[in-house]
Structure 1
Amino acid sequence: MYIIAGLGNPGNNYTHTRHNAGFEAIDRLADRYRIDISTRKFQALCGSGVIEGQKVLLVKPQTYMNLSGESLRAACDFYKIDPEEELIVLYDDISLAPGQLRIRAKGSAGGHNGIKSIIAHVGTQVFKRVKIGVGEKPAGYDLADYVLGHFSKEEWAVMEEAFGRAARAAAGLVCEDVQSVMNEFNKAAR
């Protein structure tokens, strides 16, 4: 079984913000595989289903970004999964151009508080990630204001396509080796 988590913040005021890129991608994945993400457990919205023949639990932590690890630890413990093999996390990355993806098998938090929380609670830096580029913070902007800000109309068109690609990458991580998925998706956005 795989747990596929998209990171974001709950509440309508955070909908379509840069920090909710993980939620957006999980929603595309849920739509593609007809998985209803409405069950409340593990301090999250969850949905069980099958992707490419594998059982999955899609998770949208409702703890706010900085506490995402609490939710994912509870889900991993309940299902007794090995995070190093069966956890996939989708989230925003300001070091990537809008729409660019970066697939990784492991790594540090890179300053991302949601990932810091997951590493602290799950106890490892080794878990699969789908980073979704939201663009670098402009000079003079507060980082929190930037990531909690909304995409421009032009950026949104690019991001809509990126959320779909991120969903496809996550599905690929369920049935293919990480290197193959990296080779396919770690390219600059067109």
Structure 2
Amino acid sequence: MLYLSAPRLIPILGFLFLPLVLGDYWQRVLLSVAVFALLAISWDILAQSSMVSLGQALFFGMGAYCSGVLNHYFGMSPFVTIPIAAVLGGAICTVLLMPVLRLRGVYFAMVTLIIPLMLERMIEATKIFGGTEGISGLTALPSKWLELYILLAAVLGALFGFRRMMSSDYGLVLKG
């Protein structure tokens, strides 16, 4: 059965061993690629359910802001803030989008575009969490390698979870 799993295992092994031979610049590029891959996976979930979200970066950034707030204001370690921020950001975005889920087509797309713009203006006007300058002085992960492997694990976990979800009964309901 190796011939069935080899097309999946070769890129995974490549991504796991690639950071060992790359320089600092290319490791940063790989970090950016992994972040955008996570964003693309989230768009793919909506695309397969025939929804167009124009504000997907808000939901992505909500977790980042939650992690930054927990790290900066509460002094929590990044190892603690990242999982908490993923759950907290997802919960906040679920509450924001619960009324929007009944909409379809262009109406759904327009509301998902308006919500991030509205929140951006509120943050700029009230200087919440540093306003447009953001939050500075955050504690980084101990090494760039650890950061890279955590992000690669997140991408692989998201891919695996997405594939499993879309082949489940819930995924069939989403596909309509």
- Structure with the higher fraction of residues in strand conformation: 1
Bigger Rg, structure 1 or 2 = 2
The alignment's TM-score, normalised by the length of structure 2, stands at 0.29
Structure of higher RCO (CA pairs closer than 8 Å, 6+ residues apart): 2
